[in-house]
Amino acid sequence: MDQSIRRNIRQAVKQGSETYVQSLCQAQGDIDAAARYAVEVAIKSGKEGLVDQLVPLLSKSFAVYPLDVAAKAGSVRAVEQLIAFCDAEDDEALVLAARHGHTECVKRLLKECNPLQSDSQALYEAALHDHAAVVFQLVILSDAKAQDSRALIAACRAGHLEVVKHLLPFSSKIQCAQHGFAAAAENNHVDVVEFLIEADLPDPEDTFSLGLNVAAAKGHEQLVQILLWAIVRTGHAPRDFGQEALLAAATKGHAGMVKSLLEFAHKTAYPEAGLFAALQNGHDEVADVLVRRVNLDHVRELISDEEIEAKLDEAITRVDATKQHRELHANERRRVAQSNTSSSIEKSPARGARL
């Protein structure tokens, strides 16, 4: 269709003259094409009343256009009118309605369209964009396990808790354990992680440990605390529990996280590697925490650089100095306490004599 005709149609729609728009479309060689374009402009301009006048000019077609425009805009009225003249069985309009969260449009299009098309693309789009109400409409009629439960994994990664709740009963819990849980932990979606902890995922100790490792690597301290307790509560902590997370936290310099991990980690977690990483990256606070918890001979075996060895010696010196400082303070407190006790004993006979 010629650009000048398109421009005339746009101007006519904006002016709102129903009769003029109709006559302009009828004057074209391809009345159907002109009417379809006018419908698009009317929907996008918020003048749905014009669609009523233009629908009689349409011919039946296998094209989705402009039903897809109406679905994307969420115009249920226009969708209802256009279904008879467009290919409503194609899932393009349904996918657009789902992506933009238009629940009523989705419900109407489901009467014409199979949501299983394109590996349940409509469900995936709704999950990805956090449209829980749309997911609720689609999940029973779609295949939530399509492409390794991609809709659920996307919702976990984005932190869409209500969507996750709708999808989990129909999706693969194995995929959720292997990919969804870690995706939620990596992006610090605490509410999603807490929900999944209670969701009876398979191999919980391994699933939670995987989440722990990525959370530690990203520096999500609150989430690390939650996952540590979750792993302990399983009663079956893996043998290398905490090793990877401890190394990641030490490498990034998260001293508080290192302290928490040391409290819970398995005794074989090999903190020596964490200390070496902290020394390499100049994280003195982490080094001071770890230097008291390692076999220093093992650490020295890892070091081949004199500069790193000097840093280790500095850390040992700092820790020893801190220990001596604490001992001096403790001795001073004891001396003051003993002095106060002696004074009170000496004063007691004097009071008795006065009485």
pLDDT value of position 268: 75
More confident residue, 4 or 349: 4
**For residues 243 and 211, is the Cβ–Cβ distance under 8 A?**
no
What does the chain come to in residues?
Answer: 355
Single out the residue of 280, 284, 292, 289 nearest to residue 256, CA to CA: 289
Which whole-number Å values give the CA distances from 294 to 194, 257, 276, 288, 316, in the listed order? 33, 17, 11, 11, 11
Q: Is 314 exposed, middle or buried (0-12, 13-18, 19+ CB in 10 A)?
A: middle
Fold for the domain defined by 235-338: 1.25.40
Three-state DSSP state, 80: helix
Domain boundaries, the chain: 235-338
Single out the residue of 172, 177, 178 nearest to residue 151, CA to CA: 172
Three-state DSSP state, 239: coil
Q: How far apart are CA 213 and CA 211, in angstroms?
A: 5
Q: How far apart are CA 171 and CA 176, in angstroms?
A: 8
E runs forming strands in 225-323: none
Instruction: Dump pLDDT digits (tens) for 268-302.
Output: 788 999 999 999 999 999 999 999 889 999 999 99
Place of tokens 């520096």: 219
Instruction: Dump pLDDT digits (tens) for 218-228.
Output: 999 999 999 99
**For residues 291 and 303, is the Cβ–Cβ distance under 8 A?**
no
**For residues 291 and 315, is the Cβ–Cβ distance under 8 A?**
yes
First to last CA, the chain: 119
pLDDT value of position 353: 46
Average pLDDT over residues 57-75: 97
Single out the residue of 288, 287, 292, 312 nearest to residue 302, CA to CA: 312
pLDDT value of position 354: 46
Which whole-number Å values give the CA distances from 221 to 207, 208, 306, in the listed order? 18, 15, 33
Average pLDDT over residues 74-101: 97
Q: How far apart are CA 74 and CA 96, in angstroms?
A: 9
Q: What is the CA radius of gyration of the chain?
A: 34
Angle at 349 between CA 343 and CA 353, to 5 degrees: 140
Average pLDDT over residues 187-202: 98
pLDDT value of position 267: 74
Instruction: Dump pLDDT digits (tens) for 299-323.
Output: 999 998 999 999 999 989 998 877 6
Q: Which amino acid, one-letter code, is at 2?
A: D
pLDDT value of position 48: 87
Is pLDDT at 23 greater than 70 in this prediction? yes
pLDDT value of position 352: 46
Is pLDDT at 66 greater than 80 in this prediction? yes
Residues 6+ apart with CB under 8 A from 281: 251, 252, 253
